[in-house]
Structure 1
Amino acid sequence: MPRVTIKEIARRCGVSQGAVSYALNNQPGVSEATRARVLKVAAEMEWVPNRAARQLSAARSETFGLVLARTAQTLIEEPYFMGFVGGVESVLSEKSYALALQVVADLDEELATYRKWAAERRVDGVIVVDLRVGDPRIPLLRKLSLPAVLVGDPALADGMPCVWTDGTAAMNAALDHVASLGHRDVARVAGPPEYGDVWIRDRAFEVATRRLDLTGQVRHTDFSAVEGVAATRELLGNGARPTAIIYDNDLMAVAGLAVVQGQGLRTPDDITLVAWDDSTLCRITHPALTAMSHNIVGYGAEVTHRLLDLLNGAQPQAHLYSTPLLIIRDSSGPPPG
């Protein structure tokens, strides 16, 4: 489709092209009412900046963007993103780059943030997390010509550059471990099913339980401690109580351990627990938690290096960073009896 031009926006708004340029570039010279009208019309017409013209008229912002569509409470509690952001910052600080970190309520706000950043030339590129199946952010980023590295499996990236960890191999390792201990009834407390990494683990869990002839149950949550508690209580309270539970993050695993102990059960004598990510939380609990471990700080750093390479002309590609490694600790044991 033909590109919407500043001239067309100016005609629709009844103002000069210069006024439209000031408004779209967040520069002084127009009233706030005019700026608001121009931005509204530009959004309605799906205007996107001309990347070639932008590169001629402005230098790099030396800023990368990262949008997190999570609740503030989950981000406060969840160790994963603090480690990941720490890895991003470790690279950016060496390059004298800044990180624009935006926490939003949902996917629609995230899409709006990318449009705003592109229109204002706020960032040179973005790191995109929590990929979805058929992710609407991918076509938008292409339309905006906004350089991006996606954090997730190539099956979710639709040909865009991505960095990923092998969730299928990790889930196989976790289930092979509990099966080798003799467990036949296994449950998984998972993240939101619309997230691509969760979807990949869902499929891996289903295939592996069939391969190992296990009875499997899955409870989807929002990754929070509150829902980790609720899911664990439900699993322990039903008639088909599992003897092993695998959690999609450390936070829910620690919350689940508290539920087990609060019900007078013992880990691992009555139930084996396996966490994911292996933050410090897994090592300071009693008993210490078996976990699928990978270097989260290094993951964030690798993604950032790949985005810098992309800006410097590297060819877009998918890069496997790691396969999470099973670390066996005191929460693993054979089933009761």
Structure 2
Amino acid sequence: MAGGTNRAGGQGRRPRARDIADVLGVSQTAVSFALNGRPGISEETRERILSKVREMGWSPNSAARALTGARSSTLGFAVARAPEDVGSEAFFLQLIAGMQSVLSAQRYGLLFQVVPSIKEEIALYRRWSEENRVDGVVVVDLRVDDDRPRVLKELGLPALIAGARDPLGRIPSVSFDDAVAMRTVVDHLVSLGHRAIAYVSGEPAFEHIRRRREAFTAATEEGGVAAAVETADFTAEDSARATLAALAHMDSPGALVFENEVMAVAGIETLRTRGRSVPGDLAVVSMEDSLICTAMRPQITALHRDTLRFGAVAAQQLRRAVDGEDVRTRDMPPSRLMIRGSTDPSVEAG
């Protein structure tokens, strides 16, 4: 899929310096002088041009880039989640660090913004595109029936999805195979003799979580074990609630699978308040790995993926798309299950 769409042409073409000049009855040179703060035009003409720019919702600097088609040497990354959720998950920090390792070497910047909703994220993309603020964007947390790929395609803004595949193939992606990852977790727990497994998952509106839930159901059915799924948001508080709900379905020996490490820690603390031991009564697995997992006692068995490398590959692929290369979907190497004390008491801590 080509990533270098001509953002100036076709339907929805943004105005150029020539268009502004024609509307105001001035020269293109006058427009350039006004936007770049150069002498050579009257203050009255300058103000007319800048007034038109402000009417379009642009600042002079961003309008100068947009009207000339100049690159911004910046990639955009917006996340539609609560700020506390983004700050607590090691995944986002490592993803950004991996992206920066590539972009810094190429003298590219990264514009990162947290927004309250997908609607606001789409509005931000439109603004970035109109102002030529970024040359391309990384999209995360792809939803089922997500409208962002369509909007980005219409805007002609190069984009790459990190962490899931666009079912319609409109935008290339870099992702891990979540179905294989979940099967790896279930197979491990079944091999230990667990006959009941509960999954405290995130919202199934997320494409990667939908795939995990489907794989969990299929793998537990094939393994002949009792299964339950409880939905929670990504907070510790809601994970504790979902853990209690899952306990109603659990018989020892049993196991709990959590969407990420923050939720797993909250789940373990909840089990302890109910007099349940880990892994004596219930085993625990996290679908995300971080230092938090090894700081706990017992240490938490978790799926480990090289998120730094993941971020670097995402940045490399998006930069290629910005340069007009044909960029296609790419799969990362499979996640590794790090077996620790929360599922296997024979594994030494540390």
If the length of structure 2 is used for normalisation, what is the TM-score?
0.81
Q: Is the 8 A contact 1:131 1:156 kept in 2?
A: no
Supply the AA of the counterpart residue of 1:151: A
Aligned residue in 2 for 1:173? 184
What's the C-alpha RMSD, in Å, of the aligned pairs? 3.0
Using the TM superposition, give the Cα deviation of residue 200 of structure 1 relative to its aligned residue in structure 2, in angstroms: 0.7
SS in 1 for 2:332: strand
**2:124 aligned to 103, 109, 113, which one?**
113
Aligned residue in 2 for 1:135? 146
Aligned residue in 2 for 1:44? none
Say if 1:33 and 1:285 are closer, same or farther in 2 by CA, change over 3 A.
Answer: same
Say if 1:17 and 1:126 are closer, same or farther in 2 by CA, change over 3 A.
Answer: farther
Which string of whole-angstrom CA distances, capped at 9 and with x for unpartnered residues, describes residues 258-300 of structure 1? 1112222111000000012211111110000111111111111
Aligned residue in 1 for 2:4? none
User: 1:1-337 maps to which residues of 2 (within 5 A)?
Assistant: 3=12, 16=24, 29=47, 38-39=56-57, 57-154=68-165, 156=167, 158-236=169-247, 238=248, 240-241=250-251, 243-333=254-344
Using the TM superposition, give the Cα deviation of residue 123 of structure 1 relative to its aligned residue in structure 2, in angstroms: 0.4
Using the TM superposition, give the Cα deviation of residue 155 of structure 1 relative to its aligned residue in structure 2, in angstroms: 5.1
Larger Cα-atom Rg: 2
Q: Is the 8 A contact 2:229 2:246 kept in 1?
A: no
Say if 1:29 and 1:128 are closer, same or farther in 2 by CA, change over 3 A.
Answer: farther
Supply the AA of the counterpart residue of 2:222: R
Supply the AA of the counterpart residue of 1:250: E
- The percent identity for this pair of structures is 33
Supply the AA of the counterpart residue of 2:273: G
Q: Is the 8 A contact 2:102 2:315 kept in 1?
A: yes
Alpha-carbon distance between aligned partners in 1 of 2:156 and 2:97, rounded to the nearest angstrom: 27
Q: Is the 8 A contact 1:235 1:241 kept in 2?
A: no
Using the TM superposition, give the Cα deviation of residue 118 of structure 1 relative to its aligned residue in structure 2, in angstroms: 0.2
Supply the AA of the counterpart residue of 2:160: V
Using the TM superposition, give the Cα deviation of residue 39 of structure 1 relative to its aligned residue in structure 2, in angstroms: 4.9
Using the TM superposition, give the Cα deviation of residue 313 of structure 1 relative to its aligned residue in structure 2, in angstroms: 3.2
Say if 1:298 and 1:17 are closer, same or farther in 2 by CA, change over 3 A.
Answer: farther
Aligned residue in 2 for 1:50? none
Using the TM superposition, give the Cα deviation of residue 56 of structure 1 relative to its aligned residue in structure 2, in angstroms: 8.8
Structure 2: gaps of 5 or more residues: 1-9, 38-45, 59-64, 346-350
If the length of structure 1 is used for normalisation, what is the TM-score?
0.84
How many residues are treated as equivalent by the alignment? 312
Say if 1:233 and 1:303 are closer, same or farther in 2 by CA, change over 3 A.
Answer: same
